[in-house]
């Protein structure tokens, strides 16, 4: 290269250029030659290695090599080759003993470029790692994005320190040592990031939250599906299609409700009550029992219950002439038994979980009859349909048992009253 430089210098002088200008021009021409050579090598490497890698990726069934091709990871790595070559060959164009300042400036630019390209390559590679893990079923719902972001922040922070050290001409270890004195300021600046990182570890280690979970957090107005867990925020898409952003550390320090257990269980709970007018409750007459026997869900129950009660009354010599003596069936008791058999007969009601009908504490609005069971269908819209169908039926059959639903007096009730003068 030195011989080429002398040859260029001699030709420039022959063309009439003065010696001092010729010395500067031959350095520039050699630099341009170096750049041309490195660009050519860069294109050759991309053509050879990229095509080779693309062919290998098509032949394999692995997903990671396809992602590397799609995200152009190899392209980002190839950008380092010309910068390294220029850095190594620069002394040929600008010898240290002749132009040390120009050589130092150009090599400094090359170092900064190499670091910047390296940071871009590492960041893109981490994103690919995140995508690969997201495609694995065992790790799909793990909040890994926060950890990836933390690694990216750490990598960019180190890269920034290296670039500053190159610009000011000091060792990176000196800058890192100086950062120890300003640790309090750094902790204040990166407070949310550090808290989010610690919270992310707790959420992941305790399996408290995953993307796709339905959570409820009244403090932040969140009621929907977790769509993203990052280092600084947890994004929840509410059922009204609004997005609520929650700091990760709030999910550790405050209380929130995760419905994942319901989604993974055999059923989703339905718990609702209907108030019965206490004035409509009565003992069952023989005519009522005969009517109830015709209901297919009550036939066996009525017969078995009557045998049980008759045996008890005979054993205790109960006087049947007075209805309050002994044990008798009531219309509300038969109604509860009907509801239990009705719920158990429905295919949508889970047979593995609790199914019961109970009477709650009577209030001024009547006797609450609560239906407590689990729907095997857990999707929101079908679930609401099943719940509505059940209570439509319940409201329709109440009069068949001589009962009436308690309802506050309305305007139409008052208009129907006849005033006696």
What pLDDT is recorded for position 394?
A: 96
Looking at the structure of the chain, the number of domains it has is: 3
The answer to whether residue 1 sits within a structural domain is: yes
Of 214, 237, 263, the one marking the end of a domain is 263
Are 30 and 137 part of one and the same domain? yes
User: Does 232 fall in a domain?
Assistant: yes
In a domain, 187, yes or no: no
29 part of a folded domain:
yes
Do 155 and 219 fall within a single domain? no
pLDDT reported for residue 24: 55
Domain range enclosing 396: 267-281+329-410
Residue where a domain terminates, one of 169, 185, 213: 169
319 domain residue, yes or no: no
Q: In this structure, are 233 and 277 located in the same domain?
A: no
Q: What is the pLDDT along the chain (421 residues), one digit of tens a residue?
A: 455 555 555 544 455 454 455 455 656 776 777 788 888 877 777 777 777 777 776 777 776 777 777 777 877 888 888 888 888 877 777 776 767 787 888 888 889 989 998 998 888 888 888 777 777 766 655 667 767 877 888 888 888 888 888 888 888 877 777 666 666 676 777 777 777 777 877 777 677 888 889 999 999 999 999 998 877 788 999 999 999 999 888 888 888 999 888 888 889 999 999 999 999 999 999 999 999 999 999 999 999 999 999 899 888 888 877 888 888 999 999 999 999 999 999 999 999 999 999 999 999 999 999 999 999 999 889 999 999 999 999 999 999 999 999 988 776 666 666 655 5
CATH number, domain containing residue 342: 3.30.70.100
pLDDT of res. 349? 95
Is the CB of residue 130 less than 8 Å from the CB of residue 123?
no
Residue 50 lies in a domain: yes
Does a structural domain hold residue 158? yes
Answer yes or no: is 186 within a domain: no
């Amino acid at each position: 290269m030195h011989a080429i430089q002398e040859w260029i210098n001699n030709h420039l002088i022959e063309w009439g250029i003065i010696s001092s200008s010729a010395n500067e021009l031959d350095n520039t021409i050699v630099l341009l030659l170096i750049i041309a050579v490195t660009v050519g090598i860069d294109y050759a490497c991309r053509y050879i290695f990229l095509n080779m890698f693309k062919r290998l990726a098509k032949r394999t069934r692995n997903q990671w090599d396809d992602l590397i091709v799609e995200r152009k990871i190899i392209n980002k790595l190839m950008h380092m080759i010309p910068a390294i070559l220029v850095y190594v060959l620069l002394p040929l164009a600008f010898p240290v003993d002749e132009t040390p300042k120009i050589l130092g400036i150009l090599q400094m630019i090359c170092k900064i470029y190499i670091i910047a390209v390296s940071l871009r390559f590492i960041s893109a590679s981490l994103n690919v790692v995140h995508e690969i893990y997201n495609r694995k079923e065992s790790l799909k719902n793990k909040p890994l994005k926060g950890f990836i972001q933390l690694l990216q922040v750490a990598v960019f922070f180190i890269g920034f320190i290296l670039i500053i050290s190159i610009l000011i001409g000091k060792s990176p270890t000196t800058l890192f040592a100086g950062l120890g004195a300003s640790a309090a300021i750094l902790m204040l600046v990166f407070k949310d990031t550090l808290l989010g990182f610690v919270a992310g570890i707790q959420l992941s280690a305790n399996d408290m939250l995953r993307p796709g979970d339905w959570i409820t957090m009244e403090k932040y107005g969140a009621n929907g599906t977790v769509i993203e867990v990052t280092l600084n925020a947890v994004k929840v898409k509410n059922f009204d299609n609004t997005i609520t952003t929650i700091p990760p550390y709030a999910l550790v320090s405050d209380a929130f409700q995760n419905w994942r257990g319901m989604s993974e269980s055999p059923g989703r709970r339905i718990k609702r009550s209907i108030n019965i007018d206490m004035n409509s409750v009565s003992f069952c007459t023989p005519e009522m029992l005969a009517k109830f026997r015709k209901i297919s869900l009550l036939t066996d129950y009525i017969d078995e219950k009557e045998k049980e009660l008759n045996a008890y009354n005979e054993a205790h010599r109960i006087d049947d002439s007075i209805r309050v003596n002994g044990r008798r069936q009531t219309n509300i008791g038969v109604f509860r038994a009907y509801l239990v058999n009705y719920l158990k007969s429905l295919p949508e009601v889970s047979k593995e979980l609790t199914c019961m009908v109970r009477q709650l504490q009577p209030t001024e609005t009547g006797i609450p009859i609560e239906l407590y069971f689990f729907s095997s269908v857990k999707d929101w819209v079908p679930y609401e349909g099943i719940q509505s169908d059940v209570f439509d039926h319940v409201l329709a059959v109440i009069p068949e048992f001589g009962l009436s639903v308690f309802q506050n007096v309305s305007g139409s009730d008052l208009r129907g009253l006849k005033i006696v003068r």
